[in-house]
Structure 1
Amino acid sequence: MPFLYQLRLALRNTYVRLLLAACLLAGVGAALYLSNTVVQDSSPLLRSQNIGEITALPGQRARLEYLLLAKPLSETPRYLFKFKDAPAIHVVKVPATSHLSLEREVLLRHGLPYAIATDAYLASHKAALQDGDNGPMDEAGAFLQRHAVDIALALLLLCVLKFGIPGMGVSANVIAPGKLKGSLDDLICVFRRT
């Protein structure tokens, strides 16, 4: 129990509160910074929902560098393929029902080599799994990530304006008239001397 009492006393100190707030902000900033440590591939992406691109792959087998299948068990699996003579990665989003037919009728029937995309590949190609239109939560998260330092400085400025900087303010004591000792003449004389 003495620990909780000491903690409560420590939290009354303004410096301790500021230190805890700074540690919390540093932790959030470090988490946001370290969450994006995987270097993203800068290859351009050509997005499509055209299944004809997948059915045309057997005729372009010699040009095909790789063919990957991302998230095959989801509602919308994506085929990722790249040609040897082009830097762009083609991303074809198909419905799950069409994926099974494509796999059976095109890939397996023509013997096209393909693989399931690994987690490391998907981590370095996050844009391939996202649709072109991000939702409002993604946009809000990106905004917060871009402006985290600005928001932290604005909050610090608001706290300083509201509470002042500890140790820098002028302290004044207000004495109620009933607690003054002496007469009103003594008080007037004191003010005239100063």
Structure 2
Amino acid sequence: ISKQPEHKRAARVGRVFQDPMAGTAPNLTVEENLSLADRRGAVRGLARAVTGSKRERFAEELKVLELGLENRLKTKVGLLSGGQRQALSLLMATFSKPKVLLLDEHTAALDPQRAELVTRLTKQVVQAQGLTTLMVTHNMNQALDVGNRLIMMHEGRIILDASPEEKQRMTPEDLLHRFTQLKGAALDDK
């Protein structure tokens, strides 16, 4: 995939970053941001970016977020809260139905309530679209709650690859204990 032109990769890979500011264009409106996401990976011409039918579709897609953003299509994204912006980033990253979704600490900068909301939305979108997703997190509860496989890394090396069954039996304390043990073993291997 790294040998493909960027516009082709963009159509196949959705990304949500840790910083809610990174996944959106703050000086553009909600509908303009969605229009950019809608055209990700496509050849862009001089056609109108936001049409009436697109606006209706965007509003319908935004309703799923349950944040009232369907009524704020003309609002500049820079005026949204971090949680609203991160939920919008998630929607934008999955708009073109990517093959892979990369989530880089996508709830780390949010307060606990918004982090829980974005995590719930993430699970819904991933399940509804059947997306292969790679989520990076330092949140032990989230690591155990989301997804069906858990891979723990330390200094670029895999130190734990937990099966779905093993993951299901773990608690955050177990995971932290395993990390401490395995991190020590990884350091001994150097």
TM-score by length of 1: 0.24
Q: TM-score, normalised by structure 2?
A: 0.24
Q: Which has the higher contact order (CA 8 A, sep 6+)?
A: 2
